[in-house]
């Protein structure tokens, strides 16, 4: 990782991330790396490089649309929210990202928080959970 600027850390050039692929930002031993994804539509996302199922390396998965299919058991993870796509549940931590002058920057405070927390984050309410709750009300 490189210079920090106003709370953002310069991690690499956009061109360093392969289209429909990912690049891992290594944060040292014992700390989960950050997978930066570049989708076919040129959208970019950064999430922790571990699947909410059993910790598979999402950076090695197949990118399709704005999702990645985990290489271990094929769960799909939404790259914008970090949430597993229904019927699977769970989520991985999303790191805010911005692009300036062809460089990628990750939010420094979010990175620090992710490094300090060993556990996966709790998921915000998802459409799947809301649908399940609605279904239960009518059961
Ligand atoms: S570890 Fe990712 S689907 Fe099982």
Query: Is residue 131 scored above 70 in pLDDT?
Result: no
Residue with the smallest CA separation from ligand 1 atom 4 is: 73
Query: Is residue 71 scored above 70 in pLDDT?
Result: yes
Q: Which residues line ligand 1 (CB under 6 A)?
A: 51, 53-56, 70, 72-75
pLDDT given for residue 69 in this prediction: 98
Q: What is the DSSP string of 76-129?
A: EEETTT-BBPTTS--B--B--EEEETTEEEEEHHHHHHHHH--SPPPPPP-HHH
Torsion angle, alpha carbons of 37, 118, 70, 136, to 10: -110
pLDDT given for residue 38 in this prediction: 98
The rounded Å distance from CA 59 to ligand 1 centre is 12
What number does the ligand 1 atom closest to the CA of 51 have? 2
Q: Please give the model's pTM, rounded to 2 decimal places.
A: 0.83
Domains of the chain, with CATH numbers? 4-137 (2.102.10.10)
């Amino acid at each position: 990782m490189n210079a920090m600027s106003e709370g953002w850390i310069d991690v690499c050039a956009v061109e360093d991330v392969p289209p429909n692929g990912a690049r891992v930002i290594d944060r040292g031993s014992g700390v989960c790396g950050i997978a930066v994804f570049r989708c076919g539509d040129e959208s970019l996302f950064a999430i922790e490089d571990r699947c909410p199922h059993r910790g598979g390396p999402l950076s090695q998965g197949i990118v399709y649309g704005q999702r990645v299919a985990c290489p271990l058991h094929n769960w799909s993870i939404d790259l914008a929210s970090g949430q597993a796509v229904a019927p699977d549940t769970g989520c991985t931590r999303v790191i805010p990202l911005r692009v300036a002058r062809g460089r990628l920057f990750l939010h420094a405070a979010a990175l620090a928080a992710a490094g300090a927390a060993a556990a996966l984050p709790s998921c915000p309410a998802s459409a799947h959970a809301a649908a399940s709750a609605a279904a239960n009300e009518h059961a």
